[in-house]
Amino acid sequence: MTRIKISVIKRFSPVDVFGHEMKSPSGKDVTVCQSFEDNQEFFVNDLEKPEDFCGWAWNDIYTDISILVFGGAENWKEPNRVYVCCTDGMRPVCFKLEKIEVD
């Protein structure tokens, strides 16, 4: 069986991305993503979204998870490992995906 380990590498704020703060339409400051914590880990079994994993981020990284599960990552720089991020342009989150073989 193949499992995928998802590690949260870093969450970025609008200041990190744009060099200045951003406001939401309601006037609140936009901060780093609150769905994750740096260094948090999740495990994917049977291509199922881990509990409490952000649905938007899951949709963004699902293709790369599938590629790892089905062995299509031979051309990646590091076999069985890839670095990806969600597509939230104001406060992206970077992840490390690792393929783990389990007996």
Instruction: Quick: pLDDT tens for 31-70.
Output: 999 999 999 999 999 899 999 999 999 999 999 999 998 8
Percent of the residues in the chain that have a pLDDT greater than 70, as a whole number? 95
**What is the rounded distance in angstroms from the CA atom of residue 25 to the CA atom of residue 33?**
17
Q: How confident is the model at residue 90 (pLDDT cuts 50, 70, 90)?
A: very high
The Cα 77–Cα 81 span in angstroms is 8
Q: What is the mean pLDDT of the chain?
A: 92
Residue 55: how many other CB atoms lie within 10 Å: 9
Amino acid at position 76, single letter: W
What is the rounded CA–CA span in Å between residue 94 and residue 91?
10
3-state secondary structure of 59: helix
